[in-house]
Amino acid sequence: MEIPKKRIFRIYPLYLFALLFYILYKISFQNFSLDFKTLFQNILMLPWDTKWSYKSLIIVVAWSTLFEMFFYSLFFFILFFKVQKKLIFILIPLLFLICFSLIRFTSIENNIPFVSLFVSLTGSLHMIFFLAGCIIAELFVKNRIPRLPKKAYTSILFASLVLMIITMLMPYNHLLSFFACILLFTLVLQYESYFSLDVKKRSTASLIYMGDISYSIYIFHILIISILIIWIKNIPILLVTTLIVTLIVSSFTYNYIEKKFITLGKK
206 contacts 215 by C-beta, under 8 angstroms: no
**pTM of structure:** 0.83
pLDDT in tens, 139-164: 888 888 988 999 999 999 999 999 99
- Structure confidence at residue 113 (pLDDT): 66
Does the pLDDT of residue 227 top 90, yes or no?
Answer: yes
| pLDDT band at residue 218 under the 50/70/90 scheme | very high
* Closest of 51, 93, 65 to residue 8, by C-alpha: 65
Distances (CA, A) of 28 to 58, 71, 99, 232: 14, 34, 41, 18
Average pLDDT in the 198-219 region?
A: 88
Helix residue spans in the chain (DSSP H): 2-29, 36-44, 63-80, 85-105, 115-122, 126-141, 150-169, 174-194, 202-212, 214-231, 235-253, 259-265
Give the separation between CA 64 and CA 116, rounded to whole angstroms. Answer: 19
pLDDT in tens, 91-144: 889 999 998 898 888 776 566 667 777 888 888 888 888 888 888 988 888 888
Does the pLDDT of residue 29 top 80, yes or no?
Answer: yes
